[in-house]
């Protein structure tokens, strides 16, 4: 495996049946050995369960914006999507190598920043990582509100004290209430069953688009489709990066594995599956609706149709199935900051509840899903998926020596990341400001 060849000092994960010895000379186990064994005992997720968790973390709401991304950049922008997928897979392997550099000290994404750049690196990575996860969690609830409001228009509930919840705000609150118990789970092996539901939901969504094209709209596009739109490429790139914005939870999933040396295989499987699903959704959605496609393709589907109801229901299930995976690192960070025992019952419940409630409040005030997703992808996702992994890897392995070809490749990836971050962030912020000024 690629990560093993780079970090020769990484220790094998011990099993219960292995003695506390290592090396040819049968020396006594070091502190690193004991930590590796302890990690093996704590980890519970098998290869298949980790595939479910990682595929679920990568796949999801990004698929809804894929047709819109193609509409912004044109058909040729799909080549950029393939490039983004390859880059994000490679930077995922860099995160794995950074995790192996010091298994006893590196257990989270901020730990990687700390290992590379000290306390300042830890704080920078932590700030942007948690901000990204928090904003994505908010976008999940916005998505829930939009689609449930389409499925049940005019719904309203009267609360005590004359308070009235209706439309999107009502469904955002209901979605938050449903997802809350899943955030109390500590065991990611258990979350794999929830993840399976999210993966099925993604597949059914794509099938619903096929149904819509065959039964209703056809596959010719309702308006003109463009081959390439340079002005829309920054927005497209930002949305493409959103599709792979799971790097912040890679260390958490990596640490949950019984055998984390299989992580690169898991990453390859999930990347291929998600890319195929994203690409198919993009092509189908753009062929059906052309340049009229909305930021969430489900909003283009005609009301009342069975396939529309299926698509919306699956869209609703998907974020609910992965919300807990996204907020798990935030909850763990708050526990660590408050010096609370990791996974402690009532403390974890209280922290998770506060996080969910706060995302619900913010989601109720955000009116623009597409622009928010573009901003997350252009700025925060590029930092988490491209810039941080590359910089940390170069710093951690500088002393051991890195091949010139790899340094050149990483430098090129960094240049792409900086370009997307600058142009995409500027474009998305302009769109957000224009929305507020209207």
Evaluate whether residue 185 is within a structural domain.
Answer: yes
Alpha carbon distances (Å) from 151 to 148, 264, 315, 321, 324: 5, 40, 11, 19, 24
Most confident range, picked from 6-15, 252-261, 316-325: 252-261
Computed over every residue of the chain, the mean pLDDT equals 77
Number of domains in the chain: 1
Q: Which residue has the higher pLDDT, 4 or 146?
A: 146
Evaluate whether residue 184 is within a structural domain.
Answer: yes
Q: pTM (2 decimals)?
A: 0.72
Task: Choose among 394, 336, 340: nearest CA to 113.
Answer: 394
- In this structure, the dihedral spanned by the alpha carbons of residues 186, 92, 278 and 189, taken in order and rounded to 10 degrees, is -20
Least trusted range by pLDDT, from 43-52, 116-125, 217-226, 322-331? 217-226
Percent of the chain having pLDDT more than 70? 78
Phi, psi (rounded to 5 degrees) for 163: -75, 140
Q: Which residue has the higher pLDDT, 9 or 361?
A: 361
Confidence of residue 335 (pLDDT cuts 50, 70, 90): confident
Residues 28/22, Cβ–Cβ less than 8 Å:
no
DSSP 46: -
Evaluate whether residue 196 is within a structural domain.
Answer: yes
Q: Is 168 left (phi over 0), alpha (psi -120 to 50) or beta?
A: alpha
Evaluate whether residue 346 is within a structural domain.
Answer: yes
Residues 284/210, Cβ–Cβ less than 8 Å:
yes
Query: Any idea what the CATH number is for the domain that residue 415 is in?
Result: 1.20.1740.10
Confidence of residue 392 (pLDDT cuts 50, 70, 90): very high
CA distance 431 to 419: 18
Evaluate whether residue 201 is within a structural domain.
Answer: yes
**Residue 258 pLDDT more than 70?**
yes
H/E stretch holding 211 reads helix 188-212
DSSP string, 225-272: --S--GGGHHHHHHHHHHHTTTGGGHHHHHHHBSSGGGHHHHHHHHHH
How many degrees, rounded to 5, is the angle at CA 383 between CA 380 and CA 387? Answer: 170
Task: Choose among 255, 180, 192: nearest CA to 57.
Answer: 192
Task: Choose among 36, 41, 68: nearest CA to 285.
Answer: 68
Half-sphere exposure of 368 (CA within 13 A, CB side): 18
- Average pLDDT on 404-411 reads 93
Half-sphere exposure of 56 (CA within 13 A, CB side): 29
Structural domain boundaries enclosing 134 = 42-437
DSSP 25: T
Least trusted range by pLDDT, from 124-128, 378-382, 395-399? 378-382
Q: What is the pLDDT of residue 60?
A: 62
Least trusted range by pLDDT, from 121-130, 317-326, 399-408? 317-326
**Residue 192 pLDDT more than 60?**
no
**Residue 2 pLDDT more than 50?**
no
Confidence of residue 317 (pLDDT cuts 50, 70, 90): confident
The two structure tokens encoding residue 421:
């971050």
Confidence of residue 14 (pLDDT cuts 50, 70, 90): very low
Confidence of residue 43 (pLDDT cuts 50, 70, 90): low
Evaluate whether residue 368 is within a structural domain.
Answer: yes
Evaluate whether residue 19 is within a structural domain.
Answer: no
**Residue 42 pLDDT more than 80?**
no
Task: Choose among 56, 122, 44: nearest CA to 326.
Answer: 56
- Could you tell me where the beta strands, DSSP code E, fall in 51-142? none
Least trusted range by pLDDT, from 167-176, 215-224, 364-373? 215-224
**Residue 284 pLDDT more than 60?**
yes
Evaluate whether residue 10 is within a structural domain.
Answer: no
């Amino acid at each position: 495996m690629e990560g093993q060849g780079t970090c020769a000092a990484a220790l094998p994960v011990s099993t219960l049946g292995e003695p506390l010895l290592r090396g040819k000379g049968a020396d006594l186990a070091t502190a690193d050995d004991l930590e590796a064994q302890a990690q093996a005992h704590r980890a519970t997720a098998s290869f298949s369960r980790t595939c479910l968790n990682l595929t679920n973390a990568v796949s999801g709401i990004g698929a809804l914006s894929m047709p819109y991304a193609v509409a912004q950049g044109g058909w040729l922008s799909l080549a950029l999507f393939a490039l983004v997928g390859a880059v994000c897979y490679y930077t995922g392997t860099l995160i794995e190598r950074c995790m192996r550099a010091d298994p006893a000290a590196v257990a989270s994404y901020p730990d990687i920043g700390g290992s590379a750049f000290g306390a300042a690196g830890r704080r920078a990575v932590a700030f942007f990582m948690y901000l990204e996860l928090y904003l994505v969690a908010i976008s999940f609830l916005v998505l829930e509100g939009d689609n449930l409001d389409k499925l049940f228009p005019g719904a309203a509930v009267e609360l005590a004290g004359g308070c009235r919840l209706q439309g999107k705000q009502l469904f955002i609150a209901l979605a938050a209430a449903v997802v809350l118990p899943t955030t109390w789970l500590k065991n990611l092996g258990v979350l794999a069953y929830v993840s399976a539901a999210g993966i099925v939901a993604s597949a059914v969504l794509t099938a619903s688009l096929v149904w819509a094209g065959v039964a209703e709209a056809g596959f010719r596009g309702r308006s003109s489709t463009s081959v390439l739109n340079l002005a829309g490429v920054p927005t497209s790139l930002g949305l493409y990066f959103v599709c792979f914005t799971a790097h912040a939870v890679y260390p958490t999933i990596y640490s949950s594995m019984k055998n984390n040396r299989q992580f690169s295989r898991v990453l390859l499987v999930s990347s291929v599956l998600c890319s195929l699903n994203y690409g198919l959704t993009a092509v189908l959605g753009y062929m059906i609706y052309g340049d009229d496609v909305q930021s969430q393709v489900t909003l283009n589907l005609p009301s009342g149709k069975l396939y529309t109801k299926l698509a919306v229901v699956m869209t609703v299930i998907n974020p609910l199935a992965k919300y807990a995976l996204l907020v798990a690192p935030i909850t763990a960070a708050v526990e660590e900051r408050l010096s609370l025992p990791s996974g402690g019952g009532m403390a974890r419940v209280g922290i998770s509840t506060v996080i969910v409630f706060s995302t619900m409040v913010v989601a109720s005030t955000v009116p623009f899903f597409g622009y928010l997703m573009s901003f997350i992808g252009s700025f925060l996702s590029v930092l988490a998926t491209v810039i941080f992994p590359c910089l940390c890897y170069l710093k951690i392995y500088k002393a051991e020596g890195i091949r010139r070809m790899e340094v050149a490749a990483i430098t090129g990836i960094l240049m792409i990341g900086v370009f997307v971050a600058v142009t995409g962030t500027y474009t998305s912020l302009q769109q957000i400001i224009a929305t507020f000024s209207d």
